[in-house]
Amino acid sequence: MWITGKPCAGWVEYGEEKPTQKAVHADLGLVDAYNLINRITLKGLTPGKKYGYRVSSREILAFEPYKMSWGDRQDSEWFYFTTPDPKAEKVSWIVLNDIHDRPASFSHLLSLVNEFSQDMVFLNGDMFDFETDQQQIIDHLLNPLGELFSTTTPFLFTRGNHENRGVFARQHGLYFENPDNRYYFSFRQGPVHFIVLDTGEDKEDSHEAYQGLVAFDVYREEQARWLAAEIETTAYQQAPFRVVIMHIPTFESGDWHGTMHCRELFNPLFNKGKIDLLICGHTHRYGIHPINEEHHYPLVIGGGPLETRRTVITVTADTNLLELAMLRDDGVKVGELKLNSQHRRKSP
Ligand SMILES: [Fe+2]
């Protein structure tokens, strides 16, 4: 995906070493044109393979019925990425949360990660205080991440409660792409079955702050029904590790409605499905909360957004061992976890 400042037609050239193929996006027979937001899917790529690509846009000066007037063309640099591989032996990722419109935190927190070579980055909610316009998304997220990694390494945006606030909240989905094109989804990469949930707002739907314009109870219930079916799938049950990533924690997060509703709906399914790990944010108090009577899984909460409270979480997993480390913004390791797979795949 990329954004242009003027109406354009856009395309992607890609190949293993040099551009050998070209892709556009067409819908109902029409190739996208005269748009600002570009979203093109490359099809038929091989898992676990390195590809190069560049994106190009050509300005459309006038779009008349029988005459086009074309302007300048701009090409990006040639970038590389590696396609995800569900059968990879290892997977590694980074989690950032609760940045709250402080884009300098991205570069600072990622600078603490030794040799940034992880497969992906999860943005685990509350990247913004509220959503105002496209320029905020560009200045506070897309440009800083583009300079740091996102031309090469993908990120997945887990929505936090603050992404649901502001006049631009309903445009959020135009700018980000997730598996299944939803805010809640699952996917397998290497030995981990990932589940991302969208925990919604933190107060009850009827709270005056929302003026009758939110409906998160039914949305969380929809996700609970999906999750109940998900934990019964073979893909879920055969994965060496099952990791859930969502913004509002089920515990250690006060007693407001958002937390309590997530606890009521999701926690029994997390316990029943024997998830290995839950990673959250939201409380601004970092911590690793071990398995107890209520949650039969370790609950990791990243901190933020102020100095001395920000964290970056790194995780690596192979088929036997998952290792998590949480670094505070002064570089001190403030928590770690080592988990053995409890779901060894049966030998064939
Ligand atoms: Fe939050």
Q: What is the DSSP string of 177-236?
A: --GGGSSSEEEEETTEEEEE-----SS-TTSGGGTT---HHHHHHHHHHHHHHHTTSHHH
Distance 249 CA to ligand 1 centre (A): 10
- CA dihedral 149→155→161→167, nearest 10 degrees, is 70
Distance 175 CA to ligand 1 centre (A): 20
Within the chain, which residues score under 70 in pLDDT?
Answer: 343-348
pLDDT value for 180: 86
Distance 336 CA to ligand 1 centre (A): 23
Supply 78's token pair.
């040639």
Distance 102 CA to ligand 1 centre (A): 14
Distance 246 CA to ligand 1 centre (A): 10
Distance 199 CA to ligand 1 centre (A): 10
Distance 219 CA to ligand 1 centre (A): 17
Distance 189 CA to ligand 1 centre (A): 27
pLDDT value for 344: 54
Per-residue model confidence as pLDDT tens digits over 149-196: 999 999 999 999 999 999 999 999 999 998 888 999 999 999 999 999
CA dist list (Å): 112 to 106, 184, 277, 312:
10, 29, 23, 8
Distance 284 CA to ligand 1 centre (A): 8
CA dist list (Å): 80 to 13, 71, 168, 274, 308:
12, 28, 32, 37, 35
Distance 142 CA to ligand 1 centre (A): 20
Distance 81 CA to ligand 1 centre (A): 31
Domains and CATH numbers, the chain: 2-82 (no CATH), 91-340 (3.60.21.10)
Distance 202 CA to ligand 1 centre (A): 8
pLDDT value for 348: 41
pLDDT value for 17: 83
